[in-house]
Amino acid sequence: MASSTLIDRRFIARGVERTGTARFAMWLAPWVLLLGVGLYAAYLCLYYGLNQTNMDNRFAFGLWIFLDLSIIALGAGAFFTGFLVYLIKMKELKAVLNSAVVLGFICYSGAMLVLAIDVGQPARAWFTFWHPNTHSMLTEVTFCISCYLVVLSLEYIPMLLKNRKLRQAPSFLAFEHQLHMLVPVLAAVGTLLSFFHQGSLGGLYGVLRGRPFAFREGFSIWPSTFFLFILSAIAVGPSFLALTTRLVEKVTGKALIPDSVYQRLGLISGLLLAFYVAAKSIDTLVWLNVTSPAVGFAPWEHYSYGQFGIWLMAAEIGLFGLVPAGLLLWPKTRASRGWLMTAAALACCGVLLNRFILTVQTLALPTLAFDEFMTYTPNWQEVATFGLVVAYGVILYSLSYRYLPLFPQEKELAGEVIEEGTHVSGR
């Protein structure tokens, strides 16, 4: 069977070229394998308990919570693009909205998947809804992430029903049409929820009075990390979106969105990143000179242990904050596709580093006078579960790209030059 024959022709929309089913299966095979290994690791952790991981009483949060925070921050592209398209009427981003919603759905469902394994007693997860403690940031995170996952799936369903085979059922077609008409309401609700829980994820650490490294003063009940997390999430969302779309273009060899959309995403990301860097710098200065000394922790103390030196703070704000912001704001570098992608990648790494510092370094640093600095390395079960989420994401995105119309302008751009000089005949 030639690699280009499409067995699943009836599911793929007309006028769009997709690789042969065999070749597609070969692309999915390694990810399915990774998914299998991850599922086995998850089974071990659920069946035998969390002693399967390297976490301990000091490192109650480990690789998984870092993963949760990071993919939810990167998944912020979904609500922010929805917000821009439907509420700010930035129509040109419609080209990338569907992909953003799929990415958002993957990130949030992946985060919930990992949380289900990370929690000691998953069967009691509903207790947070039944006995909510409104003072806790984690309650707010639980409520909002579950609601927003519902909203995301409601935004994902219309795309699902646009599939050529499913569209033939009249009720599906009608439901897809009607839901599509109401999507702006969902986008508004999604934005409200997301602003709250992106903030609360930051608030998780800001309220820790017992951890001076993470504790921050703030505005009424919200610590400053609440606002910094929102800012960093919406700053990095568009970059991650541009990065992933570029990746998909490279893998499939097709032009999927016009260059103007890349420029627009880059500009938005650059502006917000600059604003974030400024806010972050002010917050760090206030923390080092006011908040931390007030509870008896000298500023240099937080950075004098193991490999967690001052370079970490410099990298987070400077290399991964200021540099990408500059690259994205300067029209010449934003115009060049290469620089735009490096800046986007740097911005994403900045958010990952920030989440890592707040999750792992907070726990590593001593608090009592006779505490010692401790380190932690994840074991294979934890890394395999991490791989499980990544594999789940890639597989879901590949399937969505193949069977659902993610990129409305793909047809017009078919045949356009995606690399300098190579004309694409459509593989």
SS3 category, 219: strand
Shortest reach from residue 398's CB to other proteins, in Å: 21
Shortest reach from residue 309's CB to other proteins, in Å: 18
Residues numbered 133 to 162 that lie near other proteins (CB under 8 A) are 133-140, 142-143, 147, 150-151, 154, 162
SS3 category, 336: coil
- DSSP string for residues in 79-91: HHHHIIIIIS--G
The answer to whether 124 contacts other proteins (rule: CB under 8 A) is yes
Report how far apart, in Å, the C-alpha atoms of 8 and of each of 19, 32, 124 are.
11, 19, 41
Residues numbered 335 to 364 that lie near other proteins (CB under 8 A) are 362-363
Shortest reach from residue 367's CB to other proteins, in Å: 5
Sole window of 12-20, 22-30, 103-111, 380-388 interacting with other proteins (rule: CB under 8 A): 12-20
Distance CA 369, CA 321 (A): 34
Nearer to other proteins, 29 or 185 (CB): 185
Distance CA 159, CA 139 (A): 31
Element containing residue 178 per DSSP (H, E): helix 170-206
Shortest reach from residue 325's CB to other proteins, in Å: 31
Name the E strands within 182-333: 218-219, 222-223
The answer to whether 126 contacts other proteins (rule: CB under 8 A) is yes
Sole window of 29-37, 241-249, 339-347, 368-376 interacting with other proteins (rule: CB under 8 A): 368-376
CA 142 to chain CA centroid, nearest Å: 17
Among 123, 219, 420, 421, binds other proteins (CB under 8 A): 123
x/- binding map, residues 178-197, to other proteins, per CB under 8 A?
xx-xx--xx--x--xx----
Residue 124: count of CB within 10 angstroms of its CB: 10
Nearer to other proteins, 178 or 336 (CB): 178
The answer to whether 84 contacts other proteins (rule: CB under 8 A) is no
Helix intervals (H) in 49-169:
63-74, 76-82, 94-118, 127-130, 137-161
Shortest reach from residue 220's CB to other proteins, in Å: 12
Contact 373, 306 (CB under 8 A): yes
* Cβ-based neighbours of 422, under 8 Å, separated by 6 or more: none
Distance CA 249, CA 253 (A): 5
x/- binding map, residues 297-316, to other proteins, per CB under 8 A?
xx--x---------------
The answer to whether 1 contacts other proteins (rule: CB under 8 A) is no
CA 337 to chain CA centroid, nearest Å: 22
The answer to whether 423 contacts other proteins (rule: CB under 8 A) is no
Contact 188, 341 (CB under 8 A): no
The answer to whether 267 contacts other proteins (rule: CB under 8 A) is no
The answer to whether 10 contacts other proteins (rule: CB under 8 A) is yes
The answer to whether 132 contacts other proteins (rule: CB under 8 A) is yes
The answer to whether 174 contacts other proteins (rule: CB under 8 A) is yes
The answer to whether 200 contacts other proteins (rule: CB under 8 A) is no
Residues numbered 29 to 58 that lie near other proteins (CB under 8 A) are 49-51, 56-58
